[in-house]
Amino acid sequence: MFKKVLVANRGEIALRVIRACKELGLRTVAVHSTVDAEALHVRLADQSVCIGPPEPKLSYLNIPAIIAAAEISGADALHPGYGFLSENAEFAEVCRRCGITFIGPSPEAMRAWGDKVSARSNAAAFGLPMLPGSGVLDGADHARREAERVGFPVILKASGGGGGRGMKIVRALGDIENAFYAAQSEAMAGFRNPDVYLERFIEHPRHVEFQVVADQHGNAVCLGERDCSLQRRHQKVLEEAPSPSITPALRDRLAELVTVAVRETGYTSLGTLEFLLDEGGEAYFMEMNTRVQVEHPVTEMVTGLDLVAEQILIAGGARLRVQAHRVAPRGHSIECRINAEDPVTFAPSPGRVTEYLPPGGLGVRVDSGIYAGWTVPPHYDSLLAKVIVHATDRAGAIARMRRALDEFVIEGIKTNIPLHRRILDHPKFQRGEVSTRFIEGMQR
């Protein structure tokens, strides 16, 4: 087992990893940009190293600077968190060559499952249900032929990334060429990979993902699903577990399929296989995320497992502490992402936090890296905190989240807390009748 972990990230996920490491008796190293020198993860780590100026490409995306920080500090393992370099196979490869344990899947597994076209091939080989789609498109003419074969509407997607970048919905043959070049350009700019593919587009889908964890000894466990349908511009806003839209039969079938696929491909660490549900309740594999997810706490709340600790222990060669084929959820959990943004226009709202009072009480958890007096920089993602609640059932979880948000005080900047209140009060959300376009409909 390694002894010192460098956390190659910032904000609440860096703090989350540091806390897990401390509970496992591991020393920690925080890296930070110049603007993050007073960040909470820097204060709570055992050591810290400045790796560059505020711009991500010069600091948190700067592989030589991060590797140098690990060598200078004597870190023998590295946790990438989520975002930044967390799904960069080249980065994981560099860590391996430098004798640093990368806390995550191997570079080979990351390439096999992280690339969306390759992931579709893997998923299909193990019987996961698939939307009609294509492989990598080699030009606009190829895109046109594949779109005609699949049938409109279609969606073009970047093979090497996500988060909405490189995604273009096409409803008519005459629009395919411009959409193809636009998607390819965005994919190259966002992920340094111009490859795009297409698949049939579902107008009002639900987004459901299954959490798996696998060790280096051939053990794999499915920890149930999360519903991530509440999104804005392909960015998740609110998540819950279990999903109110999954039938027991579908849950059992997909849990079995994802467990076998992960185990038989030799994947290790945490992984999340994402599915779209159409209006008739049929599920289709979409992609796999080869990292810890932002929304992992809702799974932790309904299973009682520390997923980050499991991820660290697995990287050190330990066996899974859970040996069941799958873990049944206990109760219901909801997570609200609290962002520094205007709740109406969604414009970013960086600035100084003048007052900060997080909610508490039974069944309430807050993952955050902010404090009163800290200045939210404009250079990074706007996520400030995650409020996670747990109750015996969904109605209880909604009531508890309402109460928690009413207690939450963040002054000096704008946040999207009012948006979350509107979502929780909406009759359709309370009935579980939502799709990925639910927030878009609320704004009309």
Catalytic residue numbers, as ranges: 291
DSSP 56: G
Alpha carbon distances (Å) from 46 to 4, 13, 96: 9, 16, 24
Q: How far is CA 218 from CA 71, 268, 309, 361, in A?
A: 32, 9, 19, 40
Which tokens in the block code for residue 155? Answer: 């969606």
172's tokens: 């008519």
3-state SS class at 26: coil
Q: Where are the beta strands (DSSP E) in 201-234?
A: 206-214, 220-232
Distance, in Å, from the CA atom of 141 to the CA atom of 180, rounded to the nearest integer, reads 10
Rg (CA), the chain: 21
Cβ neighbourhood burial of 269 (10 Å; 0-12, 13-18, 19+): buried
Q: Which of 49, 52, 58 is nearest to 34 (CA)?
A: 52
Residue 142 contacts by C-beta under 8 Å, 6 or more apart in sequence? 134
Helices (H), 37-139: 40-44, 63-73, 89-97, 107-114, 116-125
Strand-pair category, 351-352 with 364-368: unpaired
For residues 242 and 307, what is the distance between their CA atoms, to the nearest angstrom? 16
The distance of Cα 30 from the centroid of its chain, to the nearest Å, equals 21
Joined together, the tokens standing for residue 134 give 């294509």
The tokens of 235 are what? 């960015």
Name the residue among 307, 335, 429, 334 with its Cα closest to residue 391: 334
Written as six digits, the tokens of 352 are 């100084």
- Angstrom distance (rounded) from CA 87 to CA 83: 7
Provide the 8-state DSSP code for 84. Answer: T
The answer to whether the CB of 314 falls within 8 A of the CB of 219 is no
In contact, 212 and 320? CB cutoff 8 Å? no
CA distances, 76 to each of 4, 29, 69, 98 (Å): 6, 10, 11, 9
